[in-house]
Chain A
């Protein structure tokens, strides 16, 4: 019987350091499968972020550069402009992409840099222990919003897809989740479409993935899945925000 769920060649045979119930492992798997299916592993250069996914290079069997917090889009720009026929992706969390690196994100998207960004939105700073992220939802408790976000003039959560959808350089923009089997299937389709966008030279592509962080949300894995499905999806509606193909 053929192995249908064999480990993708793009992933090393290596257990990850992620907490039980975390979404990173699912997204790593999807990303590995897509890179395999598009047969681009030997053409890919990825960037590792500051945050929980900093050890990306321990799991992905492809060229990877680890970047400073917020700077992956600039680093990816440098690589892609020097090697335009390679496939370049950034893998970033919410603090990286939408707080300290907002400048890089907006301008890289606006220039239409032909790269792909995988954006993990779990509404919290994971690595540093659960502080407020730019995407923390109103009322959400974090270690730096003890009264819930909104109680101390933090402003509402920043919506990245909505923000970027007005930029002409953006070719493909979709928000997905990994909190149900159906969502995982759609997330994979979106990641694949984003890479195809780059391979066809259409410009900047980004997939925002609503993901679970049970540890810093102080929830069980099951509660965390429910939190994505019942709370985050209300604030961050899923769907395609921009598609060069339509």
Chain B
């Protein structure tokens, strides 16, 4: 993830140590100076995200990373950056919660990631990789999405992805979007009018409303253009597992086990959690019997699945919080139970 960021032109990283993501700041502390960029070990998560606020305003591609309790602390700054429409990339290597929780993998920050997290009406683009090669690719893409939509992008991974070792091919960065010129940068007003980046809108009374409607239009555009999902063995499926991130990767194994028993099971894996790939879910709901949601939390992701299909099909659930993760066998057993019903 750190190397992908460097390859994508990230030249500013600020972060605060927290397990299980310390490998990112450690790598950045070594690599960023080689790349001519800035690495700062901040005194606090709040400081780190606010350093990004400044770096993004100054025009740099910038990134921070943390894990669940640290991401909670960053929410103030994330709200400001989203309100100011500045681009940045934030990585959450999720651990168990609530509170200090534990340092095992978890997906319990789903609501925080896709429903806001900080104060006010705003959205983050949320990407959920399920393998390290995909993490590498999506990290690069994240910088493009951030610049293109002038919005913070959150990479939502977990303690398993954060700690596993897997071969990846280091590919050079290539932009996937036609990126707009950064016409908002604060770099001194030489030869132009002075610029202001602000998030306070007092007068006239409806100014904030208008500002928020501008954001709503942007979010609608993102929803139209950026719903990403992978479908696996869904063409003839009667039961489709819905899972994201590392859980989806495990679920793929369970789909293989079911297919070996001639059970018509498939998988849908959202790659963007916001915007949620509603279209894929709607299409599936027209032709399958049932969904089975698998998540490493106690029923968060399932709400968006039900909303996307407007409860037109039954949705079964296999999930648990606190650092539990399913094995392919666990999921297969659940598949047998659901199909046997």
Query: Are A66 and B55 CB-contacts (below 8 A) given A81-B12, A81-B40, A103-B47?
Result: no
- In the bound complex, CA of A79 to CA of B55 (Å): 5
Within the complex, the shortest CB–CB distance from B330 to chain A, in Å, comes to 44
B18 sits at the interface (CB 8 A): no
> Could you say which interface size class chain A belongs to?
20 to 34
Within the complex, the shortest CB–CB distance from A96 to chain B, in Å, comes to 13
Q: Is the CB of A81 within 8 A of B55?
A: yes
| Residues of chain A lying within 8 A (CB to CB) of residue B38 | 81-82
Within the complex, the shortest CB–CB distance from B77 to chain A, in Å, comes to 7
Which of these binds chain B: A67-75, A182-190, A210-218, A237-245?
A67-75
Query: Are A78 and B55 CB-contacts (below 8 A) given A63-B189, A104-B43?
Result: yes
Q: Give the B-binding residues of A (Cβ under 8 A).
A: 41-45, 48, 54, 57, 60-68, 71, 74-83, 86-87, 103-104, 106-107
B91 sits at the interface (CB 8 A): no
B54 sits at the interface (CB 8 A): yes
| Residues of chain A lying within 8 A (CB to CB) of residue B46 | 71, 74, 103-104
Q: Is the CB of A62 within 8 A of B194?
A: yes
**What residue of chain B has the Cβ atom nearest to residue A110's Cβ?**
B43
- Give the residue among B44, B84, B187 with the most A Cβ atoms within 10 A: B187
| Residues of chain A lying within 8 A (CB to CB) of residue B60 | 82
Chain B positions 1-40 with a Cβ under 8 Å from a chain A Cβ: 11-12, 14, 38, 40
Proximity bits, B163-195, A CB within 8 Å = 1, else 0:
000000000000000000000001111110011
B289 sits at the interface (CB 8 A): no
B139 sits at the interface (CB 8 A): no
**What residue of chain A has the Cβ atom nearest to residue B190's Cβ?**
A42
Of A61, A64, A107, which one neighbours B47 at CB under 8 angstroms? A107
Query: Are A78 and B80 CB-contacts (below 8 A) given A63-B188, A64-B194, A66-B199?
Result: no
- In the bound complex, CA of A135 to CA of B270 (Å): 52
Q: Is the CB of B199 within 8 A of A78?
A: no
Of A41, A48, A68, A77, which one neighbours B189 at CB under 8 angstroms? A41
- In the bound complex, CA of A83 to CA of B197 (Å): 17
| Residues of chain A lying within 8 A (CB to CB) of residue B186 | 45, 63-65, 79
Q: Is the CB of A65 within 8 A of B197?
A: yes
Proximity bits, B43-84, A CB within 8 Å = 1, else 0:
110111011111111111010000000000000110010001
Q: Is the CB of B188 within 8 A of A75?
A: no
| Residues of chain A lying within 8 A (CB to CB) of residue B44 | 103-104, 107
Q: Is the CB of A82 within 8 A of B188?
A: no
- In the bound complex, CA of A228 to CA of B137 (Å): 60
Within the complex, the shortest CB–CB distance from A106 to chain B, in Å, comes to 8
10 sampled A-B residue pairs with Cβ under 8 A: A48-B198, A63-B194, A64-B196, A71-B76, A77-B47, A78-B53, A78-B55, A81-B38, A81-B51, A86-B188
Q: Is the CB of A74 within 8 A of B194?
A: no
- Give the residue among A45, A57, A64 with the most B Cβ atoms within 10 A: A45
- In the bound complex, CA of A41 to CA of B57 (Å): 18
Q: Is the CB of A82 within 8 A of B194?
A: no
- Give the residue among A41, A54, A75, A104 with the most B Cβ atoms within 10 A: A75
Q: Which 6 A-B pairs have the closest CB atoms?
A: A78-B54, A74-B50, A107-B43, A78-B55, A82-B58, A42-B190
- In the bound complex, CA of A212 to CA of B92 (Å): 45
Proximity bits, B106-142, A CB within 8 Å = 1, else 0:
0000000000000000000000000000000000000
- In the bound complex, CA of A54 to CA of B58 (Å): 20
